[in-house]
Amino acid sequence: MNRKAKLLILVLTLVLSVPVIAQARDLPVFTELAAKAGKAVVFISTEKTTQGPSMEQFRQQVPEGHPFYKFFDQFFGPQMQQPRKMLGQGSGFVISPDGLIVTNNHVINGADKVTVRFQDDKKEYPATVVGADQETDLAVIRIKADHTLPTLKFGNSDDIKVGEWVLAIGNPFGLDNTVTAGIISAKHRIIGAGPFDNFLQTDASINPGNSGGPLLDMDGEVIGINTAINAAAENIGFAIPSTQAAKVIALLKEGKAPQRGWLGVTIQQVSDTQAKALGLPEAVGALVASVGKGAPADKGGVKQGDVILEVNGKKVEDNNDLLKKIAGLAPGDEANLVLWRNGEKVTRTVTLGQRNEKAMAAMGPNHQDQGQAATVLGMALKPISDQEAQALGMAKPQGLLVVNVDPNTAASEEGIRQGDVILQANQKDVNSVADLNSVIKSAEKRGAVMLLVTRQGRNSFVALPLDNK
């Protein structure tokens, strides 16, 4: 081998080895972090007592004239009506040496018995629920231990960057203290899990049983609480950001319920077409689809068709952003709103109410006020306003605006979408939900109703079955 060949081999060897050395040097070592943090992660098991299914539900499956009917109660009645125990499991982590533990609300919700077990201590500790918040899916439970417990502390999820390494610890499928590693795949994910979606996405494997466990940065601080998975995908998990969770947990551990502001409006995303029709420079803000009668927004002068652009001087990006900004204020606080109305900005000040089940029910889809949406055949419908008709390019307000569509209904299967307008049913004009219900009632014998639907200036007929309204 000549000198040039030897030199070439030497150069190639050095070049090829550099990335390997650099890569090996950059890979984190998780052993110490996993061992230390794992001591504060717990396995949570639950028991819930449920009543057996009613006899009437099963009896309906057997015709009264059937020979088996008269023996039904004798053979199956006592067995079916017996209470049954449902078992559940999840994860959590200790946040105080005296036994406060954070987990998900869905892990402990409705449980009659909650039990905690540690990795190094196989003793089982009975737990009591200190506080829970369904809307953020967070809960705090407490155990009494005879020694000081190891803890984890919250980090700042706002500082974590996409691509940074993270570690998930939990009990997937009941396998105690399983450790998985990955990176932050994305931030601010909205997955439809609740009203305050703002998830961290990670490719660290998260499975059933991981719920409530910590997502740790490389300093061993909790930057997320593992909560949800995408069952149809591999290595896509979601965690509640620590900065969002910490505020709620601070209240829950004191036995207090979060108090959230409430406007009393239904809102929707502003599309590019709507922004153009409304004269908005860009598709931002939240379009007010309806205003509850007597609600804080109604009292403050907010109108249907307004676009909310700012709250207390902060820009509103979309409807989800508005929801978070308002909920971040307390009942009784004043919200200074910048609205887009009739091609110009106006300001209104609203004294917020309290977001709770009663308030939300008043704004629910079955409310029959003209500004509200009512559900018919799996579609949330409302009479269309002047502003909405203008935004959709209609010559005049007519028909029913589709506010939402249940994806598990024939309406969705037949292609009806949010933003469509139903003009007619069985060739009769429908300008109210009552009009549509009247046509449906008269069409029950046919078993179907024909709708005339308009979308972006194009009309089409859609037939929906009535056998499963």
- The pLDDT, as a whole number, for residue 79 is 54
Q: Which two tokens stand for residue 181?
A: 């590693």
Amino acid, single-letter form, for residue 192 = G
Say which amino acid occupies 251: L
**Nearest-angstrom CA–CA distance, 52 and 85:** 10
Helix (H) or strand (E) holding 288: strand 286-291
User: Within 13 Å, how many C-alpha atoms sit on residue 406's CB side?
Assistant: 13
The span from the CA of 109 to the CA of 93, in Å, is 17
Alpha-carbon distance of 462 to 464, in angstroms, equals 7
CB-CB contact of 163 with 201 (8 Å): no
Max intra-chain CA distance, the chain: 101
Q: Tell me the residue length of the chain.
A: 469
For residue 172, give the amino acid letter: P
104: its two tokens: 């998900």
Q: State residue 56 phi and psi, 5-degree precision.
A: -65, -35
List CB contacts of 334: < 8 A, sequence separation 6 or more: 349, 350, 351, 352
Catalytic residues: 106, 137, 211
DSSP state of 432: S
For residue range 329-384, list pLDDT tens digits in order: 989 999 999 999 988 999 999 999 988 766 655 554 433 333 456 788 888 888 88
Please name the residue ranges forming H helices in 43-102.
Answer: 55-59, 72-80
pLDDT at position 73 is 57
What pLDDT is stored for residue 326 in this prediction?
92
Bridge pairing between strands 458-465 and 448-455: antiparallel
Q: Residue 27: its pLDDT value, please? A: 67
What does each C-alpha distance from 111 to 116, 129, 133 come to in angstroms?
13, 10, 15
How far apart, in whole angstroms, are the C-alpha atoms of residue 32 and residue 248? 30
Confidence at residue 364, expressed as pLDDT on a 0 to 100 scale: 45
Q: Low-confidence residues of the chain, pLDDT below 70? A: 1-27, 50-83, 174, 192-194, 231-233, 357-373, 387, 391, 467-469
Sole residue written with tokens 């009535």: 466
How far are the Cα atoms of 142, 256, 306 from residue 131, in angstroms, in the given order? 10, 7, 38
Of 344, 345, 341, nearest to 291 by C-alpha is 341
What is the predicted pLDDT for the residue at 367? 38
> What contacts 430, CB < 8 A, 6 or more positions away?
399, 400, 422, 423, 424, 436, 439
List, for residues 112-166, the tens digit of each pLDDT value: 999 999 987 778 999 999 999 988 899 999 999 888 999 999 999 999 999 999 9
Q: Contact, 240 vs 138, CB < 8 A? A: yes
Which element (helix H / strand E) includes 325? Answer: helix 319-327
Query: In this structure, what token pair is assigned to residue 88?
Result: 């559940």
Which residues partner with 87 through β-bridges? 47
Number of CB atoms found within 10 A of residue 429's CB: 12
| Phi-psi sector, 261: left (phi>0), alpha (psi -120 to 50), beta | beta
Contact 77, 29 (CB under 8 A): no
Nearest to 316 by CA among 285, 342, 292: 285
Other beta carbons less than 10 A from residue 131's beta carbon = 20
d(CA 307, CA 338): 8
Q: Which DSSP state fits 172?
A: G
The answer to whether the CB of 325 falls within 8 A of the CB of 314 is yes
Q: Dihedral through CA 157, CA 196, CA 228, CA 31, nearest 10?
A: 10
How many Cβ atoms from other residues are within 10 Å of residue 406's Cβ?
14
Q: What is the pLDDT, as a whole number, of residue 209? A: 83
Phi, psi (degrees; rounded to nearest 5) at 190: -115, 115
β-bridge mates for residue 462, sequence order: 451
